[in-house]
Structures are given as C-alpha cells and as structure tokens.
Amino acid sequence: MHILEHLFLVGEFPERAHLLSGLTLEQVRLRPDGASHSIYEELWHVVAYQQSIIAAGDPAGDRYPSAAPEYEHQWHDLVRVFLDGARAAAAMGQAPDRLAHEVEPGVTMADELNCVAIHNAYHLGKIVALRQRIGAWPPIA
C-alpha cells in the first residue's frame, strides 16, 4: 500500500467510507449547540478543498455550502465525490512523475497532497466528534 492510500482512505483512523456511513439526512443537517458546522457542511468543505487540488479547481471558491441538503441523495452524492477524490489522490502514488510535478515553484503535487490529507484528517475528526455528540458513533456496520 502506498502512503497516499493510507493517508486518504484507510490509515490512522477508521476507513473513510465507514466513517461516513450510516447517517441520515436529519443527522447530517443537524448542527448541535456550540458547533460551528453540521456534518454535511464539514464534508462539503473537505470536498471543495480536495477537488481544488485533485481536479485543479478554484481554491478560492466558497468555503462552506450556502444551503443544507434537501434530499438524502445529496448527502450520498457528496460522500461519493469525496471518496472518488480520495481514491484519485491515492492513485497518484502510482505515478511518481505526477507527484514530482511542481504546481508552483518549490511546491510539488506530493506536497499539495500531504496538505490535503492533513486538512481532511482535521475535518474528518470534527465529523467524528459531531457524530459522537448526536449519538451516531460508531457507525453501524
């Protein structure tokens, strides 16, 4: 296993697909007292940043969504986009020339992916904490 697969999909804490599983629309929309964001908002933010690096999108775009999801499929679609992006990041571990590519002077794609992995871990930790606060942790297998 390449380190990027470890960082983006399976290592150090629960597998990402499992960590995001078993949530209802009501749960992902909920913002407990004192929480800055809902589970949906946290993952939306992660996806926006991850996609800005993986797909060379606009890193200056919206930081959080402007509205909560209305339908459960919106949550499932967001999880799918996140996992697809994480798999794409992990797959870059098989392309050393792509990792070595300088995205700006002195900064390689590998450097960028390390930053994304750290950012993801921070926000996924917040999602776990939110799940714990609303009684939705651990995920049901």
Percent of the chain exceeding pLDDT 90 equals 84
> Can you list the domains of the chain with their CATH numbers?
3-59+69-133 (1.20.120.450)
pLDDT at 58 over 80: no
* Three-class SS of the chain: CCHHHHHHHHCCCCCHHHHCCCCCHHHHHCCCCCCCCCHHHHHHHHHHHHHHHHCCCCCCCCCCCCCCCCCHHHHHHHHHHHHHHHHHHHHHHHCHHHHHCEEECCEEHHHHHHHHHHHHHHHHHHHHHHHHHCCCCCCCC
Mean pLDDT for the stretch of residues 22-42? 97
Percent of the chain exceeding pLDDT 70 equals 95
pLDDT in tens, 66-108: 999 999 999 999 999 999 999 999 999 889 999 999 999 999 9
Question: pLDDT value at position 17?
Answer: 96
